[in-house]
Amino acid sequence: MITRIFTLFFAFVLLSSFSDQEGYRIGDKALEFELKNIDGQMFSLKSTAVRGYVVVFTCNHCPFSKKYEDRLIKLNNITTPKGYPLVAINSNDAEQYPEDSFENMKVRAKEKGFNFPYLHDETQEVARTYGATKTPHVFVLAKEHGAFVVKYIGAVDDNTDDEAAVKMKYVENAIDALTTGNLINPELTKAIGCSIKWKKS
Amino acid sequence: MHAMAKLILSAFLILSALRADAQKQITEAELKDLSFKVNDTLYVVNFWATWCKPCIEEMPHFIQLAENLKDQPVRFFLVSMDFKSQEEKLREFVLKKEIPLPVYQLIPENINHFINQIDPDWSGAIPATAYYRNAQKVYFYEGEYTFETLSSTLNKLINQ
């Protein structure tokens, strides 16, 4: 009986410690997801020769995401030649937010001329695994011994409203640090954003 | 004619005062002054924005519960995170919806620092709500409330 109580107790402790650890921390190995791109093809992190990726959780409807659409295009032009192409993912529930449907992702990408893959995380599994909570939410990954390791989590830069007033380009700084072998500082930032719209279960 | 001009001027002044009252711009320090007070009142600070659908959906619950709890030691502040460029949109929203709670617009100097100051566990997604009593944070929640979840949270915290 006592053993049983102890087993239960330990199971509970284990479970609660698991649920505490939602999403990735710096240094974690990232899931090598495979998701449908707006061109209809499956996109896999494994598929290209790269040093890493700039993974951006974003969407169509969120004003904060809209503010960054042009900036993401510019950012991709900077990071891709350094070996870190940008990959955008939309994980929002299109039932509650029709503007974020797969069809509307295609429309937006064409309108804006996205120069990066725009992937649909229909099951929301990738957002949950990464611990993305809002849009935009960036995860910089670098390849180490064949695995993708999380190097930076947070915002694109320090001014959503006004690009001209940006003082810190966090993601560009992170990529620069990675390519020059320096420490990323800061490796964790925050910004206000729209919450990811989880499916109602 | 002179009296007419005076009348127009005072009408203008009253109107602009009313407009200014729709929302007040505050700094991080001023927000702290509002919520960190040494008394037994529970200060509820809800972070929202006009473009945030779940924020707008939960707002009536705050308004209704503020009314239900008006004899209790609890005060509500709605702190908008709308961009500086959206000031007019925010003002129109507050007036059109006739929001009876105090509305503030906060444009933080350093957003990253601000979010961590409010709560280290806050990812920055809104809505989010912080609760203070006796110059201390007593609770923080990131996410949308239903009437029931907000009501039970408030009852628990008020009777703590």
Percent of chain B with pLDDT over 70: 87
Nearest CB neighbour to B51, from listed A63, A133, A137: A63
> Strand B125-126 to strand A34-37: parallel, antiparallel, or no bridges (unpaired)?
unpaired
ipTM: 0.77
Question: What pLDDT shows up at residue A3?
Answer: 52
pLDDT at A76 over 50: yes
User: Nearest by CB to B52, which of A162, A189, A194?
Assistant: A194
Smallest CA–CA distance, residue A19 to chain B, in Å, is 14
CB-based burial, A150-188: b 16+ in 10 Å, e otherwise: bbbbbbbbbbbbeeeebeebbbbbbbebbeeeeebeebe
The pLDDT tens digits of the residues spanning A123-137 come to: 999 999 999 999 999
Q: Which residues contact B77 (CB under 8 A, 6 or more apart)?
A: B31, B34, B35, B43, B44, B45, B46, B101, B102, B104
Give SS3 for B146: coil
Q: Establish, for the pair of chains A and B, how many residue pairs have beta carbons separated by less than 8 Å.
A: 61
Residue A40 predicted with pLDDT over 50: yes
Record: contact A191-B125, CB cut-off 8 A = no
Inter-chain residue contact B142 with A190, CB threshold 8 Å: no
pLDDT, tens digit, for every residue of B93-128?
999 999 999 999 998 888 999 999 999 999 999 999
Outline where A62-124 has alpha helix (H).
63-79, 102-112
